[in-house]
Amino acid sequence: MSKSTWLKIGLTGGLIVGISLLHYLTDPYEMELHAVHQRLYYLPLVLGSFWFGIKGAAAVSISVIALYSPYVIYHWQGTFHDFETLLEGGLFVFIALTLGFLVESQKKEHAARIEAERLAAIGRVVSEIAHDMKSPLMAIGGFASQVSRNLPEDADSNNKLQIVIQETRRLEAMVKEMLEFGKPIELVLSRTDLNELAEKTAEALEPVASKEGVKLKIEPDRSLPAMNLDGAKLRQVLTNLITNAIQACAAGEEVLVRTRSSDAEALVEITDQGCGISEEDREKIFQPFFSTKKQGTGLGLANVKRIVEAQGGKVTFHPNKDKGTTFVITVPLDK
């Protein structure tokens, strides 16, 4: 925890303890003073809720009840004033929780808006750069292929040209991914069989998996109904997730793609036995351009998130009990 967090906790806690002490040290018959002290509890309540949301509000309520109720019980006389204190205690907890809840949802909304604006700004810059890179790259690749065709196959310079051609292809794929990221998502919905989609994607990636010595298995849930989704974009999502899973595995390890449904949702789970994601990287992996790979663009998961969320779904991940990671895509079943 940072120094400023400790300071906030200290100030809120100090106020609660200080106000409680005022109660205990003031003559119980000084009703007016006690009434003032009681209202002073709203101060730590506002601070705690504002700084720590619902958790802060709950902590302040519990602390105030724990510190102040012995006083109330000890001096209880069953008068109208005691009844008022009890009533105000209930109101205090209600206000605390409402305030905490409102502050927290406001903060979440604000964070989501900032994140959306940040992503849109990155998207604009990325697509401008990608757009400018596209034509020169195509020219380099095209000319390199032409020159290569005119050279004897075993010439040393031809080997070097092949490297130029390969690397240009890789850059072209990167530019394609960057252009995709900069474009707003326009869904083309149609009846989509998630099982078929998962099977076709796994089939297409089988050569990639076997080249790495990774076993790719699929377990479709046949009870899953067809759904109104953008099949082409979801295929891109599955391709990205399965490719990541294969890349995380060493030879001999396994990637399992499973579909299943719960009450109102369809799920696709991609489980690998790979290297896992370090605690430190877990909050960064959906950020655009975050990559731990030598040749990664770091746009794969950022695109996955955008596409899945545009279809009302979500993408989550968790470490497996034994080894590796499971990514889960959840999309709502049609009503």
Ligand X SMILES: Nc1ncnc2c1ncn2[C@@H]1O[C@H](COP(=O)(O)OP(=O)(O)OP(=O)(O)O)[C@@H](O)[C@H]1O
Question: For binding to ligand X (CB under 6 A), which residues are involved?
Answer: 177, 240, 244-245, 248, 272, 274-277, 281, 285, 290-293, 296-302, 325
> What is the closest distance, in whole angstroms, from the C-beta atom of residue 236 to ligand X in the complex?
11
Nearest-angstrom CA–CA distance, 63 and 69: 10
In the block, which residue shows the tokens 């993408």?
315
Of 49 and 244, CB closest to Mg ion: 244
Contact partner at residue 274 from Mg ion, ligand X, none, CB < 5 to 8 Å by partner kind: ligand X
Residue 102, classified by CB atoms within 10 Å of its CB into exposed (0-12), middle (13-18) or buried (19+), is middle
Task: Decide: is 220 part of the binding site for Mg ion (CB under 5 A).
Answer: no
Of 13 and 319, CB closest to ligand X: 319
Of 16 and 245, CB closest to ligand X: 245
In the block, which residue shows the tokens 């295929």?
235
Would you give the DSSP letter of residue 282?
T
Q: Are 61 and 98 in contact (CB under 8 A)?
A: no
Nearest-angstrom CA–CA distance, 238 and 202: 8
Of 220 and 300, CB closest to Mg ion: 300
- Interface pattern 269-308 for Mg ion (x via CB under 5 A): -------------------------------x--------
> What is the closest distance, in whole angstroms, from the C-beta atom of residue 238 to Mg ion in the complex?
12
Of 103 and 301, CB closest to ligand X: 301
> What is the closest distance, in whole angstroms, from the C-beta atom of residue 278 to ligand X in the complex?
8
Contact partner at residue 325 from Mg ion, ligand X, none, CB < 5 to 8 Å by partner kind: ligand X
CA dihedral 16, 22, 27, 32 (to 10 degrees): -80
Shortest-Cβ-distance residue relative to Mg ion: 300
Helix, coil or strand: residue 112: helix
> What is the closest distance, in whole angstroms, from the C-beta atom of residue 126 to ligand X in the complex?
12
In the block, which residue shows the tokens 């975050």?
290
Of 95 and 275, CB closest to ligand X: 275
* Angle, CA of 225, 234 and 319, to the nearest 5°: 95
Q: Are 97 and 53 in contact (CB under 8 A)?
A: no
Of 45 and 249, CB closest to ligand X: 249
Which among 179, 183, 187 has a CA at the least distance from the CA of 308?
187
What are 228's two structure tokens? 């109104």
> What is the closest distance, in whole angstroms, from the C-beta atom of residue 327 to ligand X in the complex?
6
> What is the closest distance, in whole angstroms, from the C-beta atom of residue 291 to ligand X in the complex?
3
Contact partner at residue 299 from Mg ion, ligand X, none, CB < 5 to 8 Å by partner kind: ligand X
Q: Give me the long-range contacts of 310-315 (CB less than 8 A, separation at least 24).
A: 310/185, 310/187, 310/233, 311/187, 311/229, 311/230, 311/233, 311/234, 315/237
Of 48 and 300, CB closest to ligand X: 300
By CB under 5 A, the residues from 228 to 267 that bind Mg ion are 244
> What is the closest distance, in whole angstroms, from the C-beta atom of residue 290 to ligand X in the complex?
5
| Interface with Mg ion: number of residues (CB under 5 A) | 2
Residues that bind Mg ion (CB under 5 A): 244, 300
